[in-house]
Amino acid sequence: MYSISSRISYRIKVMLNRVNNSWDKYSRIRMSRLEARILRKEIIAENGKTMVTPRLMKEIKKYCRNTFGSSAYWPWLAVYTEQTGEFKNGWMPYEYYRYELLPQMNPEKYRDFSECKHLDYKLFNGSVVEPLFFRFNGLYYHKQGAALKKSEVNEILGEIDNEVVIKAVSGGGGKNVMFKQSSEVCLEELPESSDLLFQNAVEQHSELDKLYPHSINTYRVLTFLDNKGTVKTKFVILRFGRGGNRVDNCSRGGGWVFVYPDGTLSTKGHDEYGYSLGNTHPDTGTEFKKLSLPFLDQVNALCKKAHGAFPFTRIIGWDVYINKEGEAKLIEWNAETPGFWSFEAHYGPFFEELLPV
């Protein structure tokens, strides 16, 4: 039997944990809104004027009260409006998506699987870019799980005679990605603090090389598992590198262009913050609208199949590349914080059915 004091102590711990979680969520939401206010000021300075008139601000706040129960959700919707020049009913504020919707749809104990790239080969075997081997907890492992000695790893690297990609098992955004010739990899010089994934460098389809040849330009697909158990594609964008970068992540200087349901591209590209990059790639001059990319059906089918294999999180962002033969393969996936706000601003709303009212 537990004593009265131990039961009281347990209840206090539960209560404090709930308070801490609530405070953490509140703090994150406030910081997100502050970020939106700062970003809005930058957009207004860039445009030389505001698109949000007093009448429109009143409409935005009324929408927030009626839909989300509070007018405090206005900052991100004001950012969307400054970006696009109009307000759209059905928009979802970014902080609601990030801190209210995603935790409901993607429970923490499952969404963390997307941060474990060494598991992708087992979860989605046949659909992913195959790994060569891993380094985990300081030890090396074959993709099938067998432990490898450093001498065996060096032997594998020596036999490959190809460029390899080395990246951290967790994390994303194109950070900590290394490209090295296999014969030049020195295991002792690799960062000790990270678990690592080793892959052969891949080559993309020639049509995507026309867009930008120095990175693998990937499709980002956001899928949603609805209440009937059907996987639906919410949106698709095509990301591209810029400025000589080897990765296409927007956070590393890349850009994106929206892909319509018929597979055609939008006329206009955007950067990480939704600013227009014009109708052509800034480096190659390739006109987005003129690219012939007959891959969308295959890309959608691949992502829906993969989501069906992992139905424990309902919103997933997938990164897909097209190889030289025109075959779609998964590079990685994100159930933690799939990108949203700039896509929602320009081409949404995407989640009207999930609005609280």
In the chain, what is the straight-line distance between the N-terminal and C-terminal CA atoms, in Å?
46
pLDDT of residue 342: 96
Contacts of 101 (CB under 8 A, 6+ apart): 92, 315, 351, 354
Beta strand 147-148 pairing with 139-142: antiparallel
Q: With a cut of 70, say whether residue 16 has pLDDT above it.
A: no
Confidence of residue 175 (pLDDT cuts 50, 70, 90): low
Q: With a cut of 80, say whether residue 268 has pLDDT above it.
A: yes
pLDDT of residue 126: 85
CA 131/CA 144 separation, integer angstroms: 10
103-107 long-range contacts, CB within 8 A, separation 24+: 105/313, 105/314, 105/315, 106/313, 106/314, 106/315, 106/335, 106/336, 107/312, 107/313
Q: With a cut of 80, say whether residue 226 has pLDDT above it.
A: yes
Percent over 70 (pLDDT), the chain? 93
| Paired tokens of 202 | 């891949």
* pLDDT single digits (tens) 208-217: 999 999 999 9
Three-state secondary structure string covering the chain = CCCHHHHHHHHHHHHHHHHHHHHHHHHHHHHHHHHHHHHHHHHHHHHCCCCCCHHHHHHHHHHHHHHHCCHHHHHHHHHHHHHHCCCCCCCCCHHHHHHHHHHHHCCHHHHHHHHCHHHHHHHCCCCECCEEEEEECCEEEECCCCEECHHHHHHHHHHHCCEEEEEECCCCCCCCEEEEEHHHCCHHHCCCCCCEEEEECCCECHHHHHHCCCCCCCEEEEEEECCCCCEEEEEEEEEECCCCCCCCCHHHCCEEEEECCCCCEEEEEECCCCCEEECECCCCCCEHHHCCCCCHHHHHHHHHHHHHHCCCCCEEEEEEEEECCCCEEEEEEECCCCCCHHHHHHHCCCCHHHCCC
Residues 330-339 have a mean pLDDT of 94
Half-sphere exposure at residue 260, Cβ-oriented, CA atoms within 13 angstroms: 9
∠ Cα 329 332 338 (to 5°)? 125
Residues 238-255 have a mean pLDDT of 92
Percent over 90 (pLDDT), the chain? 79
- Chain-centroid distance, C-alpha 237: 11
pLDDT of residue 172: 64
pLDDT of residue 2: 44
pLDDT of residue 302: 98
Lowest mean pLDDT, pick from 17-26, 252-261, 286-295: 17-26
Residues 106-112 have a mean pLDDT of 94
The reported pTM is 0.90
pLDDT of residue 251: 81
pLDDT of residue 231: 98
CA 357/CA 66 separation, integer angstroms: 7
Residues 95-115 have a mean pLDDT of 95
Residues 304-314 have a mean pLDDT of 97
pLDDT of residue 173: 61
| Paired tokens of 257 | 């262009």
Half-sphere exposure at residue 63, Cβ-oriented, CA atoms within 13 angstroms: 20
Instruction: Round the average pLDDT of the chain to a whole number and report it.
Output: 91
Confidence of residue 161 (pLDDT cuts 50, 70, 90): confident
Confidence of residue 4 (pLDDT cuts 50, 70, 90): low
CA–CA distances in Å: residue 85 to residues 49, 50, 173, 235, 257: 11, 9, 29, 21, 19
Task: Give yes or no for a contact between 348 and 87, defined as CB atoms under 8 angstroms apart.
Answer: no
Residues 249-268 have a mean pLDDT of 93
* pLDDT single digits (tens) 42-98: 999 999 999 999 999 999 999 999 999 999 999 999 999 999 999 999 999 999 999
CA 263/CA 291 separation, integer angstroms: 10
- Chain-centroid distance, C-alpha 7: 43
